[in-house]
Amino acid sequence: MSGGGLLVAGTTSDAGKSVVTAGICRWLVRRGVKVAPFKAQNMSLNSFVTREGAEIGRAQAMQAQAARVEPSALMNPVLLKPGGERSSQVVLMGRPVGEMSARGYHGGRQQQLLGTVLDCLSELRDTYDAVICEGAGSPAEINLRRTDIVNMGIARNAGLPVLVVGDIDRGGVFASFFGTVALLGPEDQALVAGFLVNKFRGDVSLLEPGLDMLHGLTGRRTYGVLPFRHGLGIDEEDGLRVSLRGTVRESAVAPPAGEDVLRVAVCAVPLMSNFTDVDALAAEPGVVVRFVDRPEELADADLVIVPGTRGTVRALEWLRERGLAEAIARRAAEDRPVLGICGGFQLLGEHIEDDVESRRGHVDGLGLLPVRVRFAREKTLTRPVGEALGEPVEGYEIHHGVAEILGGEAFLDGCRVGRTWGTHWHGSLESDGFRRAFLREVAAAAGRRFVPAPDTSFAALREEQLDRLGDLIEQHADTDALWRLIESGAPQGLPFIPPGAPA
Query: CA 27, 33, 35 angle in degrees (round to 5)?
Result: 80
Q: What is the pTM of this model?
A: 0.92
**CB-side neighbour CA atoms (13 Å) of 76:** 34
d(CA 59, CA 65): 10
The answer to whether 8 touches 165, Cβ cutoff 8 Å, is: yes
- What torsion, rounded to 10 degrees, do the Cα atoms 306, 378, 430, 449 define? -30
Query: CA 82, 49, 314 angle in degrees (round to 5)?
Result: 30
Based on its alpha-carbon atoms, the radius of gyration of the chain, rounded to whole angstroms, reads 23
Among 340, 342, 396, which Cα is nearest to 368's?
A: 340
d(CA 189, CA 23): 25
Catalytic residue, candidates 400, 424, 426, 476: 426
What region, left, alpha or beta, does residue 224 occupy, with left being phi > 0 and alpha being psi -120 to 50 degrees?
left
Burial of 468 (0-12, 13-18, 19+ CB in 10 A): middle
Which long-range CB contacts under 8 A does 359-364 form with residues at least 24 apart?
Answer: 360/313, 363/313, 363/316
The answer to whether 163 touches 11, Cβ cutoff 8 Å, is: no
Amino acid at 41: Q
Decide if 426 is catalytic: yes
Catalytic residue, candidates 25, 342, 399, 424: 342
Helices (H) and strands (E) in the chain, counts: 16, 27
The answer to whether 207 touches 197, Cβ cutoff 8 Å, is: yes
- What torsion, rounded to 10 degrees, do the Cα atoms 217, 227, 482, 210 define? -10
What region, left, alpha or beta, does residue 305 occupy, with left being phi > 0 and alpha being psi -120 to 50 degrees?
beta
- What's CA 139's distance to the chain center, in Å? 20
List beta partners, residue 422. Answer: 340, 415
- What's CA 408's distance to the chain center, in Å? 33
- Alpha helix locations (H) across 297-361? 312-322, 324-333, 343-347
In order along its 503 residues, the chain shows pLDDT tens digits of 578 999 999 999 889 999 999 999 999 999 999 999 999 999 988 999 999 999 999 999 999 999 999 999 999 999 999 887 678 899 999 999 888 876 766 666 777 899 999 999 999 999 999 999 999 999 999 998 988 999 999 999 999 999 999 999 999 999 999 999 999 999 999 999 999 999 999 999 999 999 999 999 999 999 999 999 876 666 555 433 333 434 455 455 577 888 899 999 999 999 998 888 999 998 899 999 999 999 999 999 999 999 999 999 999 999 999 999 999 999 999 999 999 999 999 999 999 999 988 888 999 999 999 999 999 999 999 999 999 999 999 999 999 999 999 999 999 999 999 999 999 999 999 999 999 999 999 999 999 999 999 999 999 999 999 999 999 999 999 999 999 999 999 999 999 999 999 98
Strand-pair category, 303-306 with 338-341: parallel
Helix %, strand %, coil % for the chain, to 5? 35, 30, 35
| Angle at which helices 458-476 and 479-488 cross, to 10° | 90
